[in-house]
Amino acid sequence: MGGSFTSYKGVTENRIIRLNADGSKDTTFTTGTGFDYSVGTIVLNPSEKILVGGAFTTYNGVTENRIIRLNTDGNKDTAFATGTGFNDYVGSIVLHSDGKIFVGGNFTTYQDSNESASLIALHSETNLATENFTNANGVSLYPNPVKDILNIDLLDNTSISSVKIYDLQGKLLLEKASNDIDVSSLSAGLYLIKIATEKGEFTKKFIKE
């Protein structure tokens, strides 16, 4: 469990705790002083390590800016190196089937880079290079934000083999092989668009008004 709480049954538990099936504290999960600010999302990966995102800037007294991965015993997983992390709140973490980790929130930088505001994909759980959503070479989306028709401009006139649109939970919503996509049926919000061409795949984000 994660949140804004600072105690459980009258005992200090700063914003994260693991409970047994009977509601008692699992004492094998040790978090020390826990988080300094709220936890917004918790995700277990296939190996049962624990990805945590939120508004926190420290874990157990050590700087961890808004994302961390914990081992099953509550200690930090040092193989998951996020550097300076995020500059603002992380509210959503989604594991993709190809191993990438989608992270959403109010942030505008990750590891001091502003290439991906509000949404980012980390390539894998051990290699945290970022997926470039905003500057994929030779690909332009317009208008963005969009109301009805989203146009895709490939500057080198490369042909499109497929276009797939996903929500932030990784659910496929639309699929088409065209330079113009009717998105009028989508609700307002932030989406991912994956464009496959003969030169590779590009992933960008767009806003539906």
Q: What is the CATH number of the domain that holds 167?
A: 2.60.40.10
| 116 and 161 both lie in a single domain | no
Q: In which element (H, E) is residue 140 found? A: strand 139-142
| 189 and 116 both lie in a single domain | no
Q: Please write the tens of the pLDDT for every residue from 156-166.
A: 677 889 999 98
Last residue of a domain, one of 131, 159, 177: 131
Last residue of a domain, one of 65, 96, 131: 131
| 107 and 154 both lie in a single domain | no
CA gap 98, 208 in Å, rounded: 26
Collect all residues with Cβ–Cβ distance below 8 Å to 99 and sequence separation of at least 6.
Answer: 123, 124, 125
What pTM was computed for the model?
A: 0.63
| 195 and 103 both lie in a single domain | no
Share of residues in the chain with pLDDT > 90 (%): 51
Instruction: Say how many CA atoms lie within 13 Å of 161 toward its Cβ.
Output: 7
| 37 and 84 both lie in a single domain | yes
| 123 and 144 both lie in a single domain | no
Collect all residues with Cβ–Cβ distance below 8 Å to 18 and sequence separation of at least 6.
Answer: 1, 25, 26, 29, 74
| 94 and 125 both lie in a single domain | yes
Q: In which element (H, E) is residue 208 found? A: strand 200-208
Convert 116-142 to b/e letters by CB count within 10 Å (16 or more is b).
bbbbbbbeebeebeebbbeebeebebe
| 88 and 188 both lie in a single domain | no
- When divided into structural domains, the chain yields a total of 2
CA gap 127, 100 in Å, rounded: 10
| 145 and 89 both lie in a single domain | no
Q: Between 100 and 118, where is the model more confident?
A: 100
Q: DSSP characters for 153-181?
A: EETT-PPEEEEEEE-TT--EEEEE-SSEE
State the residue range of the domain holding 144: 139-208
Which of 106-115, 133-142, 170-179, 197-206 comes out lowest in average pLDDT?
133-142
| 200 and 153 both lie in a single domain | yes
Q: Please write the tens of the pLDDT for every residue from 133-182.
A: 444 456 788 898 899 999 998 876 778 899 999 887 778 899 999 999 99
| 8 and 71 both lie in a single domain | yes
Last residue of a domain, one of 131, 153, 183: 131
| 104 and 51 both lie in a single domain | yes
